[in-house]
Amino acid sequence: MGRKAGIEKSDIAQAAARIADRDGLDAATLSAVARELGIKTPSLYNHVDGLEGLRRLLAIHGSEIVLSDFKAAVDGIEGAEALKALSEADREFASRHPGLYSSFLPAPTEESDPELYTAMAAPAFLVAHVMLDMGIPQEEALHLVRALRALLHGFLELEANRGFGMPIDIDESFDRSVDLMIEAITAAAARHK
C-alpha cells in the first residue's frame, strides 16, 4: 500500500484510540478516524486494510502501550511485588484506555497473524518472565498467566460495566482478588524450589 504524505500509521492509531477510548471501540470507524484527522475516508486505505486493518492497528498500538506500562511497573521489583504492580498497571490501562482494552479480543494465533500475535503476546510474556524468575516452570507459568489474565479481565469488565452494585469498596475487592491469585502463584513457585 502507498502512503499519503503527512499521515502516518501512528497518527491513525492515535486518532482511532482517542475515538475508541472516548466513545467505545465500535465508534472507531474509518469515517470517524478520517474526520478526526481531517482527511477523506478513502485516504485511510493507503495505510490500513479496511475496518479489520484499523482494529488490528489499534490492538498493536494498545499492546505497545501496555508493554511500556508493564515494563515501567516492574522496574526494580520482582516476584509477588511485581505481579501486584503488573495487575495494578493492567487495571490502570483498562481505566485510562477502555476502547484500546476492548481491541484485544479476539486474540489472534501465531499462524493467523504473526505480527499481531507477537505484539499482543509481549505483555503476557513479560508476566510469564516474572513467574519464571520466581521458579515456576514454563508450561505452568503460561497456565498461571492465563489464570491471572482471566481474573483481571473479568474484574475489569465488571468494573467498566458497573457490575459491582454492592456498597463495598471496589478497590479493596480488587486488591483482595489479586492478592489471592498472587498467593496461589507464590505457593506454586514454592512447590518448585
What does the pLDDT average to over 115-120?
Answer: 97
Q: Please check the confidence at residue 31 and state whether its pLDDT lies above 70.
A: yes
Q: Where are the beta strands (DSSP E) in the chain?
A: none
pLDDT band at 192 (very low <50, low <70, confident <90, very high): confident
Q: Report pTM.
A: 0.91
pLDDT of 12 higher than 60: yes
Tell me the pLDDT band of 1, cut-offs 50, 70 and 90: very low
What pLDDT score was predicted for residue 6? Answer: 78
List, in order, residues 6 or more apart from 113 with CB less than 8 Å away.
56
- What's phi and psi for 164, nearest 5 deg? -105, 100
Q: Is 79 left (phi over 0), alpha (psi -120 to 50) or beta?
A: left
Q: What is the pLDDT of residues 147-160, one digit of tens each?
A: 999 999 999 999 99
- Residue-wise pLDDT for 74-116, tens only, equals 999 999 999 999 999 999 999 999 999 999 999 999 999 999 9
Kindly report the number of other CB atoms within 10 A of residue 136's CB atom. Answer: 23
Say what the pLDDT of residue 193 is. 78
